[in-house]
Amino acid sequence: MKLLREFTSLSDAELLSNRLRSKGILTHISGVNSKQLGAIATGTVKVGVWAVLNEQVDDATALLTNSRHTVRHQLTEEEMSRLESESQGKVAASLSSLLNKLVFALVALMIMVVAYSVLSNS
């Protein structure tokens, strides 16, 4: 994954992302949620367009300067959608695992506090 360009305008980032996707390059725009919350709240003033797959970085970079570049590692829209769905599933699983660990840690901490309280009052 490599950052291709940064923009202060989300619409400019979306234009580049859509242009690359139309050529079969899987992209991601970072900072969208932070930008929408505002620079004062998050400190983010730019959004970035990323080439997601390492094997597509050279093609994506070439397309930035030459719109007629022939993409060697082109994906279909279906392949891009499948990869995005798979990654969203992995993110959800990671978040679920993190939340489970956090709940376990909080329960363990509460048990320790209660045990300390009971033992110190004995």
Domain boundaries, the chain: 1-75, 77-122
pLDDT (0 to 100) of residue 75: 97
Q: What is the pLDDT of residue 93?
A: 72
Distances (CA, A) of 14 to 17, 48, 50: 5, 10, 11
Question: What pLDDT, on the 0 to 100 scale, is given for residue 41?
Answer: 55
pLDDT for residue 38:
58
pLDDT, averaged per 10 consecutive residues of the chain (122 residues), comes to 94 97 96 67 77 97 96 96 84 79 91 89 76
d(CA 29, CA 10): 9
**Per-residue model confidence (pLDDT) at position 97:** 83
Q: At what angle do helices 10-22 and 57-65 cross, to 10 degrees?
A: 110
